[in-house]
């Protein structure tokens, strides 16, 4: 051991004292002190449980609410997401979101087709129809009409549960989403051939599709454009959207700008249209405020409860921290111990919270909640919030220990 | 005679302005190596302040001090921490054992602080507890031990890292007379060595018999030193002067 012999200062010559030199780094292992910190924390079972509960509760609420919120917002653009073969949606210039459209003129389709860079452009209908099952059950559903010739805008073939997209060419053929099928034909096996009424017209299930769930959990029907016109009756204009595929050498954004300038219509890529729809729901409904409030409350409750409990825990151990200081534990070492305790509480609490959240989404999985899942992004965000919470919770404790005078151990 | 502690004109103020309190008033004191020195006096006379200064936990406002041949004032804060870690042992009035640790783990704490490997530290602590008659209580938590046993654990903790100076604050005040006497018997037997000094602050006159010197304090000053105890085979340098009370000559008076 390296030694120094401080100035004797009047002491007798042979009473030199050895002690380690303080180098750039303290030459001690933190292992035993870290273990000590964890024993101090976990030894007080009640406070440890309270800390874990606070963090778990916050983590669970934040992840669950954020995931549900994101899932709901994603649902608002589900019909846009399900169209994967077109790049651009052309619509009335005043359109604000996908669920409220003002129909285009039939001639607008030809105008769009005339824009250089357009590989193909097809009509796309989106509206509502009242569907009625043979047993009298009825519901409003989302009716999507696909171009008769190309069936462009249909869901991807991999999402067909029963039947094929080509079966839409049969008379009265309709594809229905799985949840809608269960509603109209409860208990029936997933099989094509069932018939029902759509706005008093006959419709026949040609296939069952795993469509993305819409915001309002309506059933989703796919049919040919001409058949959709037949179902919804006679209005002067029925063309909801024109779906466009970009030709070679053009980018979707550039082509969208060209369509807008050439036709005076609004043209957006699928991605942009989806975000425009989400922004509409964010700014025109109370959804973000409600969910945001819950998340903020969860953060506040988590921080306050964890902070107070952690602070009380430190206060109760103040004598012990003082004794450690007197025995030669340095401030950085004590701060390290507190941070280690905080990190352990955060890690265990976060894990428990994620477990609770995963269990919730597993148990709550029904037709009504499909598409709403625990998102890794929500988990990652919650992890960040938990780090923030435990850091804030440990700040008071750290301050208390830093200003602690070790001489207090001698005061009764 | 080797000197363990030398205080020369130590003064300590707390607070400022109207609330300024003077706890020590030019106190002079010498404690030799191998000595069990007791500091006695009424409440508020400055005993606790004095041992806090001796232990390097407080800085004197004025005066010169030397502990184990080192002037704490000349050390950087980090050096002072390391000095304390290596050379000082503590016994507290309320034991200050960590309630979540076993007896052996509590004793090992100074070794943990010094960076020792945990298993070896606990093994060493277990051996010492065994020597102190607590071999059957190694895995017991403080709450499962009697007051006397807890103070024996605290004494073991003060000894485990072989310090050169042990500072004790009212070590028997939380114990009944018989237990206190037994604890002091054990303490003086295992802790007093020629190369170590013990400073004990106490009100308990029943343990005065264990002292080599008794320094009487009043109003922040050492007003006299009583020396020796009968039959004590302590350090050869310390003469037995039973019953003599002599004033300490002030160096800066």
> Which residue in chain B has the smallest CA separation from A11?
B69
Nearest by CB: B51 against A11, A31, A410: A410
Within a 13 Å sphere around the CA of A300, how many CA atoms are in the beta-carbon half?
6
CA distance A228 to A126: 9
What residues are paired with A221 via a beta bridge? Answer: A143, A176
**Residue in the block written with tokens 């009047």:** A10
pLDDT higher than 70, residue B64: yes
Nearest by CB: B6 against A10, A31, A410: A10
pLDDT higher than 50, residue A193: yes
B78 touches chain A (CB under 8 A): yes
CA distance B203 to B221: 16
Cα three-residue angle B171-B173-B176, rounded to 5 degrees: 110
**Residue in the block written with tokens 């403080």:** B142
A17 touches chain B (CB under 8 A): yes
Between residues 321 and 380 of chain A, which touch chain B (CB distance below 8 Å)?
A: 322-324, 326-330, 333
Q: What number is the average pLDDT over the span A354-372? A: 86
**Residue in the block written with tokens 């190309």:** A150
**CA distances (Å), B103 to each of A127, A239, A246, in order?**
77, 84, 78
Mark yes or no for CB contact B83/A405 under 8 Å: no
B166 touches chain A (CB under 8 A): no
| Cβ-based contacts under 8 A for chains A and B | 158
Using left for φ > 0, alpha for ψ between -120 and 50, and beta otherwise, residue B158 falls in alpha
Tell me the domain boundaries of chain A: 32-74+287-410, 105-264
Per DSSP, chain A holds a count of helices (H) and strands (E) of: 12, 10
Nearest to A237 by CA among A116, A92, A379, A393: A92
**Residue in the block written with tokens 């942009």:** A272
What residues are paired with B62 via a beta bridge? Answer: B11
Higher pLDDT residue, A236 or A67?
Answer: A67
Domains of chain B: 3-246 (3.40.50.300)
Nearest by CB: A40 against B76, B79, B98: B98
For the whole model, what pTM was predicted? 0.75
CA distance A203 to A222: 11
- Find the radius of gyration of the CA atoms of chain B: 18
pLDDT higher than 80, residue B250: no
What residues are paired with A138 via a beta bridge? Answer: A132
**pLDDT digits over B93-120, tens only?**
888 899 999 999 999 999 999 989 999 9
In this structure, chain A runs to a length of 412
pLDDT higher than 70, residue B13: yes
Residue B170 is encoded by which pair of tokens? 């009212």
**pLDDT digits over A295-327, tens only?**
888 888 878 888 888 888 888 888 888 899 999
Mutate: best of A1, A326, A335, A406, partner B, most B CBs <10 A:
A326
Q: What number is the average pLDDT over the span A246-267? A: 94
A218-222, A299-303, A335-339, B206-210: least confidently modelled range: A299-303
pLDDT of residue B29: 93
């Amino acid at each position: 051991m390296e030694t120094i012999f401080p100035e004797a200062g009047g002491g007798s010559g042979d009473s030199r004292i050895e002690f380690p030199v303080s180098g750039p780094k303290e030459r001690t292992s933190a292992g035993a002190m870290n273990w000590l910190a964890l024993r101090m924390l976990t030894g007080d079972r009640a406070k440890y449980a309270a800390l874990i509960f606070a963090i778990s509760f916050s983590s669970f609420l934040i992840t669950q609410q954020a995931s549900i919120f994101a899932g709901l917002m994603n649902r608002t653009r589900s019909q846009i997401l399900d169209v994967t073969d077109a790049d651009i949606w052309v619509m009335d210039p005043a359109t604000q979101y996908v669920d409220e459209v003002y129909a285009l003129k039939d001639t607008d389709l030809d105008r769009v087709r005339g824009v250089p860079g357009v590989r193909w452009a097809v009509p796309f209908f989106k509206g509502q129809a009242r569907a009625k099952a043979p047993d009298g059950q009825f519901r409003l559903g989302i009716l999507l009409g696909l171009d008769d010739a190309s069936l462009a805008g249909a869901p991807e073939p991999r999402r067909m549960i029963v039947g094929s997209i080509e079966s839409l060419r049969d008379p009265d053929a309709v594809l229905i989403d799985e949840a809608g099928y269960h509603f109209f034909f409860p208990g029936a096996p997933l099989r094509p051939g069932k018939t029902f009424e759509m706005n008093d017209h006959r419709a026949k299930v040609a296939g069952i599709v795993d469509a993305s769930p819409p915001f309002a959990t309506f059933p989703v029907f796919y049919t040919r454009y001409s058949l959709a016109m037949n179902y919804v009756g006679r209005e002067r204009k029925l063309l909801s959207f024109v779906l466009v595929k970009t030709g070679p050498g053009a980018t979707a954004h550039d082509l969208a700008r060209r369509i807008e300038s050439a036709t005076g219509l609004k043209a957006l890529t699928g991605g942009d249209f989806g975000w425009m729809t989400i922004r509409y729901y964010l700014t025109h409904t109370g959804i973000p405020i409600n969910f945001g409030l819950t998340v903020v409350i969860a953060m506040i409750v988590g921080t306050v409860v964890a902070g107070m409990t952690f602070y009380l825990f430190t206060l109760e151990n103040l004598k012990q921290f003082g004794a450690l200081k007197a025995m030669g534990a340095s401030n950085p070492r004590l701060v390290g111990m507190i941070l280690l305790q905080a990190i352990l509480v955060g890690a265990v609490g976060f894990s428990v919270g994620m477990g609770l959240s995963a269990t919730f989404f597993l148990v709550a999985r029904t037709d009504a909640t499909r598409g709403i899942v625990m998102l890794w992004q929500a988990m990652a965000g919650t992890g960040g919030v938990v780090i923030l919470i435990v850091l804030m919770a440990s700040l008071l404790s750290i301050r208390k220990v830093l200003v602690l005078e070790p001489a207090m151990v001698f005061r009764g | 005679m080797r000197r363990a502690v030398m205080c020369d004109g130590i003064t300590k103020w707390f607070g400022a302005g109207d609330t300024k309190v003077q706890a020590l008033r030019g106190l002079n004191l010498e404690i030799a190596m191998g000595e069990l020195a007791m500091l006695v006096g009424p409440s508020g006379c400055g005993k606790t302040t004095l041992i806090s200064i001796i232990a390097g936990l407080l800085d004197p406002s004025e005066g010169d001090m030397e502990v184990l041949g080192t002037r704490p004032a000349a050390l950087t804060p980090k050096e002072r921490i390391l000095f304390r870690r290596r050379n000082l042992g503590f016994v507290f009035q309320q034991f200050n054992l960590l309630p979540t640790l076993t007896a052996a783990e509590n004793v090992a704490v100074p070794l943990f602080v010094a960076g020792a490997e945990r298993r070896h530290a606990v093994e060493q602590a277990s051996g010492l507890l065994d020597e102190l008659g607590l071999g059957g209580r190694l895995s017991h938590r403080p709450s499962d031990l009697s007051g006397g046993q807890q103070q024996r654990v605290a004494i073991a903790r003060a000894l485990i890292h072989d310090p050169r100076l042990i500072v004790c604050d009212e070590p028997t005040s939380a114990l009944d007379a018989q237990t206190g006497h037994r604890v002091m018997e054990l303490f003086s037997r295992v802790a007093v060595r020629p190369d170590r000094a013990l400073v004990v602050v106490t009100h308990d006159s029943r343990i005065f018999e264990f002292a080599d010197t008794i320094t009487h304090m009043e109003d922040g000053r050492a007003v006299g030193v009583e020396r020796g105890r009968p039959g004590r085979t302590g350090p050869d340098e310390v003469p037995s002067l039973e019953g003599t009370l002599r004033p300490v000559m002030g160096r800066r008076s």
